[in-house]
């Protein structure tokens, strides 16, 4: 499938004055105010902010699951109206189907391809996320970390050009979270999808992102965009790392000295 | 009488000793103690009250033998099971697809849910006169009544299951472009299946309760009719109680069979999580 070429110079994902207001008990509740953001092709961007700052809502709008109250999101120059199988969402709670085996979950996005092609793709992504040998297992037999691997594999099977990740590792223990971050980076460097990754974890954003979009609390707006110009693997003990981290904490209005 | 008192004391003694047994052994020993105790009390009560009509456990045991020898029991079991099976299958065959569609489509739900909820509280027993009017005395009326008593639990259970499908799973399906019949086959049905099986189980339980009542009032075969017949034919309460026990045993068997559906990998998640 050849996706429409975007106009030269325009970014992959463009948010233009995106606002969102929910109705809560009849009262309008503004969660996002005029968010402008451009994400380049192949870029890894983290959306960082306190709970309730609207960062997940922004991701849902970009994913086509919700409509903005005002403004628009364009991907490849075309406005997003509905979900698209080339731009895959990885959910915080497990979005994989508990009634289907690992294999049947991953094959979902490539179900219309030939059997041979399905086999090739599924085997490849299972290998990529380190799930070999678990093809016929059911999600309930897997640990939380492995379930998220299945979800990532399901997303990768369609060779997505954008990955929307909504605190995908939020429910995992800290060691598993670290491992999966490393693996996500490895996969990202290998395949180079555009990644929009929502998190409220400063270290997670620091370890993953090329740019960190810091949100202020409700109504969510962009406080600042912080570039992390450090090659992977990043030395979390380096002074440079500490400087950026201090800046992020400052923007979030908390101190890291406890 | 003496035997019963000894049995009662023995059961009580075993019950108090059981705390020393392994948990697995207790699962067997405790209910057997209670059952033995209850049967002993039943016997003691019969003798103590001096009742001429109410059967002792031993009378009931002999009545069981009489029923089996008379060959009549099997015919009545077959008649009851025939009505329950066909009524239930018909209800599942219509109720599951209907519940899937009504649960998924908000417009259909708005249109049909009030009617379904309005008909649901009418006891199937209240339909007996109409069932007889339409189908006469016999299997037709029985199948119709079982259909009614199974249809509502199955349809409502399936509807609720579909409306409970998690947003994340719905969005996953949308994200990967799963639509139309494929959506029902890959997402809606499997997501709802654990709860559908639970509603089938409830429906079968209700069906087994209703068929006995229906046969007592409006049919001339079946276990319900057998109870009525035994009472009318010279107050044979030993046969009445034996038949009641038979009804209970078959009910347990039916529930056991339908619970086999819960062990499949595709639905096991629905019973172990949360």
pLDDT in tens, A163-184: 999 999 888 888 888 888 998 9
Average pLDDT, chain A: 89
Q: What is the pLDDT of residue A9?
A: 58
Residue B218 pLDDT > 60, yes or no?
Answer: yes
- Contact with chain A for residue B190, Cβ under 8 A: yes
The ipTM is 0.86
In chain A, what percentage of residues exceed pLDDT 90? 63
Bridge-partner residues for A19, per DSSP?
A70
Average the pLDDT over B87-110 and give the result: 95
Which range, A30-39, A166-175, A182-191, B189-198, has the best average confidence (pLDDT)? B189-198
Residue B143 · residue A69 · CB < 8 Å: no
Average the pLDDT over A214-223 and give the result: 86
pLDDT bin (cut points 50, 70, 90) of residue A155 is: very high
Give the list of residues 6+ apart from residue A59 with CB closer than 8 angstroms, or none: A47, A89, A164, A166, A196, A198
Cβ neighbours of A57 in B, within 8 Å? none
Cβ neighbours of B193 in A, within 8 Å? 99
* Closest chain B residue to A142, measured at CA: B269
User: Could you give the CA distance from residue B73 to residue B249 in angstroms, rounded to a whole number?
Assistant: 14
Which of A98, A111, A138 to probe by mutation at the B interface, max B CB count within 10 Å?
A98
Residue A3 pLDDT > 50, yes or no?
Answer: no
Strands (DSSP E) contained in A167-232 are 194-199, 211-215, 222-227
Average the pLDDT over B237-246 and give the result: 94
Which of B168, B174, B175, B261 to probe by mutation at the A interface, max A CB count within 10 Å?
B175
φ, ψ of residue B164 to 5 degrees: the values are: -95, 0
Average the pLDDT over B195-202 and give the result: 95
In total, chain A counts a number of residues equal to 258
Residue A112 · residue B182 · CB < 8 Å: no
Higher pLDDT, B14 or B86: B86
Residue with the two structure tokens 């019973």:
B271
Residue A10 pLDDT > 80, yes or no?
Answer: no
User: Could you give the CA distance from residue B77 to residue A129 in angstroms, rounded to a whole number?
Assistant: 57
User: Could you give the CA distance from residue B57 to residue B16 in angstroms, rounded to a whole number?
Assistant: 25
Encode A1-40: b = buried (16+ Cβ within 10 Å), e = exposed.
Answer: eeeeebeeeebbbbbbebbbeeeeeeeeeebbbebebebe
**How far is A185 from chain B, CA to nearest CA, in Å?**
23
Task: List pLDDT tens digits, range B251-261.
Answer: 999 999 999 99
Of the partner residues B176, B193, B273, the one whose CB lies closest to the CB of residue A108: B176
In chain A, what percentage of residues exceed pLDDT 70? 95
In chain B, what percentage of residues exceed pLDDT 70? 99
- Contact with chain A for residue B263, Cβ under 8 A: no
Average the pLDDT over B84-111 and give the result: 95
Tokens for B236? 């044979």
Residue A106 · residue A122 · CB < 8 Å: yes
Using a CB–CB cut-off of 8 Å, the residues of A that contact B are 63, 65, 82-85, 88-89, 91, 93-101, 108-109, 138-140, 158
Average pLDDT, chain B: 92
Task: List pLDDT tens digits, range A93-144.
Answer: 788 999 999 999 999 999 999 999 999 999 999 988 889 999 999 999 999 8
**How far is B274 from chain A, CA to nearest CA, in Å?**
12
Element at A140 (helix H, strand E): none
Question: How far, CA to CA in Å, does A169 sit from each of A16, A90, A101, A182?
Answer: 28, 10, 21, 12
pLDDT bin (cut points 50, 70, 90) of residue A2 is: very low
Tokens for B123? 């006891």
- Contact with chain A for residue B272, Cβ under 8 A: yes
Residue A53 pLDDT > 70, yes or no?
Answer: yes
Tell if the CB–CB gap between A83 and B175 is shorter than 8 Å: yes
For B230, the 3-state DSSP assignment is helix
* Closest chain B residue to A106, measured at CA: B176
**How far is A148 from chain B, CA to nearest CA, in Å?**
14
Q: What is the pLDDT of residue A5?
A: 43
For B52, the 3-state DSSP assignment is coil
């Amino acid at each position: 499938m050849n996706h429409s070429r975007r106009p030269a110079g325009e970014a992959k994902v463009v948010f233009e004055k995106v606002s969102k207001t929910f109705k809560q008990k009849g009262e309008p509740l503004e969660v996002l105010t005029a968010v402008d953001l451009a994400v380049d092709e192949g870029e890894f961007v983290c959306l960082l902010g306190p709970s309730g700052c609207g960062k997940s809502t922004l991701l849902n709008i970009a994913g086509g699951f919700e409509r903005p109250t005002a403004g628009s999101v364009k991907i490849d120059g075309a406005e997003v109206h509905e979900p698209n199988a080339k731009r895959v969402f990885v959910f915080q709670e497990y979005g994989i189907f508990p009634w289907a085996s690992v294999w049947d979950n991953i094959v979902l996005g490539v179900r219309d391809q030939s059997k041979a092609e399905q086999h090739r793709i599924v085997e490849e992504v299972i290998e990529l996320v380190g799930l070999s040998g678990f093809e016929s297992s059911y999600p309930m037999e897997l640990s939380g970390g492995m379930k998220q691997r299945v979800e990532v594999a399901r997303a990768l099977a369609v060779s997505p050009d954008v990955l929307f990740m909504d605190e995908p590792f939020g429910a995992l223990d800290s060691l598993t979270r670290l491992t999966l971050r490393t693996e996500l980076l490895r996969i990202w460097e290998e395949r180079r999808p555009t990644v929009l990754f929502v998190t409220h974890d400063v270290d997670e954003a620091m370890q993953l992102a090329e740019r960190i979009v810091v949100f202020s609390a409700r109504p969510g707006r962009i406080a600042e965009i912080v570039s992390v110009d450090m090659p992977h693997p990043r030395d979390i003990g380096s002074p440079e790392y500490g400087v950026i981290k201090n800046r992020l904490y400052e923007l979030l209005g908390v101190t890291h000295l406890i | 009488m003496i035997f019963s008192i000894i049995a009662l004391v023995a059961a009580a003694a075993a019950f108090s000793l059981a705390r020393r047994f392994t948990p697995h052994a207790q699962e067997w020993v405790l209910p057997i103690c209670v059952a033995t105790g209850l049967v002993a009390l039943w016997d003691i009560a019969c003798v103590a009250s001096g009742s001429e009509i109410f059967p002792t456990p031993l009378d009931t045991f002999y009545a069981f033998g009489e029923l089996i020898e008379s060959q009549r029991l099997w015919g009545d079991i077959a008649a009851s099971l025939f009505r329950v099976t066909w009524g239930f299958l018909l209800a599942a065959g219509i109720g599951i697809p209907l519940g899937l569609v009504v649960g998924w489509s908000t417009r259909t739900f708005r249109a049909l849910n009030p009617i379904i909820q309005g008909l649901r509280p009418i006891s199937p027993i209240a339909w007996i006169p109409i069932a007889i009017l339409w189908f006469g005395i016999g299997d037709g009326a029985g199948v119709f009544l079982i259909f009614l008593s199974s249809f509502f639990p199955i349809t409502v259970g399936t509807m609720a299951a579909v409306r409970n499908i998690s947003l994340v799973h719905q969005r996953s399906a949308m994200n990967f472009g799963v639509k139309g019949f494929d959506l029902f086959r890959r997402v809606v049905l499997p997501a709802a299946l654990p709860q559908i099986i639970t509603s089938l189980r409830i429906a079968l339980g209700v069906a087994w309760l209703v068929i006995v009542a229906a046969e007592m009032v409006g049919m001339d075969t079946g276990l319900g009719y057998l109870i009525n017949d035994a009472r009318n034919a010279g107050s044979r309460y030993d046969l009445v109680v034996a038949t009641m026990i038979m009804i209970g045993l078959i009910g347990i068997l039916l529930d056991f069979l339908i619970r086999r559906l819960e062990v499949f990998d595709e639905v096991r998640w629905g019973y172990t999580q949360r």
